[in-house]
Structures are given as C-alpha cells and as structure tokens.
Amino acid sequence: MLLSEMKEGHTGIIVRVGGNGALHRRVLEMGLTRGSEIYVEKYAPLKDPIELIIKGYHISLRVKEAANITVDKVTP
C-alpha cells in the first residue's frame, strides 16, 4: 500500500520510493530508504501533511509526496 494510505500509529517497511528526480533524491537523503521501518505519528489537523518517524527522528511530508512511497508489512 502507499504511505499516504497508512493510518496514524501504524508501522510499515518502505519497499519503493518513486517520484520526480529532486523529490525522490531528497526523500532518500533524509533517510527514507528501501527497507527502513516507518511509523505514522500523526496527520496534521487539516489532514495534510503527515508526521512520520524514521531512523529515530521526526519528519513531515505532504500527502501527495507520501503517495510516491510504497510500504509493506503494515501493522498497527
């Protein structure tokens, strides 16, 4: 499923990162690499952006950007 479809409090493993060049690379450089565990901390009050925990730190992505990331093994 897509990262943008994950619910608050769920954990998943990143399997694919897509998107255009700049965004793709930026997302990777911030540590959202294949195989990393990702946790959905919360959605902003207006449902966009999303706050995530990756590699022990907090990062936020717009929902549209998160839709480029595919996750697997999603567990609550």
Partner 1 sequence: MHKKSITIALAGNPNSGKTTIFNNITGTRQKVGNWPGVTVEKKEGSVSKYGYDLKIIDLPGTYSLTPFSIEEIVARNFVLEESPDVVIDIIDASNLERSLYLATQLRELDCKVLFALNMADVAFSRGIKINADKLSELLDVPVVFTTGNKNKGITNLLKTAIKLAESTSNISPKRKVKYSKDIETSISKLQNFIKERVEQNFPYNIRWTAIKLLENDKIVRKRIRQKSENKSREILREVETHRKHLLSRFDEEPEIVMTDERYGFIAGIIKEIIKTSTKRRIDTSRNIDLVLTNRFIGFPIFILFIWIMFQTTFTAGSYPMEWLSSGVNWLSTILATSLPDSFLKDLLLNGIIAGVGSVIIFLPNILILFFFIAIFEDTGYMARAAFLMDKIMHLIGLHGKSFIPMLMGFGCSVPAIMATRTLESNKDRILTILITPFMSCSAKLPIYILLAGTFFSARAGTVIFSIYITGIVFSIITGRLFRSTLFKGADAPFVMELPPYRAPMIKSLIIHMWDRSKMFLKKMGGIILVGSIIVWMLTAFPRNINYSMNYNEEINKINTSSSFTGKQKKAAITKLKLNEKAEKAEKSFMGRIGKTIAPVFAPIGIDWRGSVALLTGFVAKEIVVSSLGILYAADETEETDEPDALKNALLSSEMTPLSALSLMVFVLLYLPCVATIATIRRETGSLKWTLFSIVYSTSIAWAAAFCVYQGGKVVGLS
Which is nearer to partner 1, 23 or 74 (by Cβ)?
23
Cis check for the bond before 49: say yes or no (omega within 30 of 0).
yes
Helix ranges (DSSP H) in the chain: 21-29, 63-66
Does 75 sit near partner 1 (CB under 8 A)? Answer: no
Regarding 76 and contact with partner 1 (CB under 8 A), the answer is: no
Question: Dihedral (C-alpha) 49, 75, 72, 17: value to the nearest 10 degrees?
Answer: 20
Any idea which residue has 């954990």 for tokens? 11
Site string for partner 1, 25-64 (x = CB under 8 A): xxxxxxx-xx-x----xx-xxxxxx-x---xxxxxxxx--
74 contributes a contact to partner 1 by CB under 8 A: no
Query: Is 21 one of the binding residues for partner 1 (CB under 8 A)?
Result: yes
Is residue 7 a contact residue for partner 1 (CB under 8 A)?
no
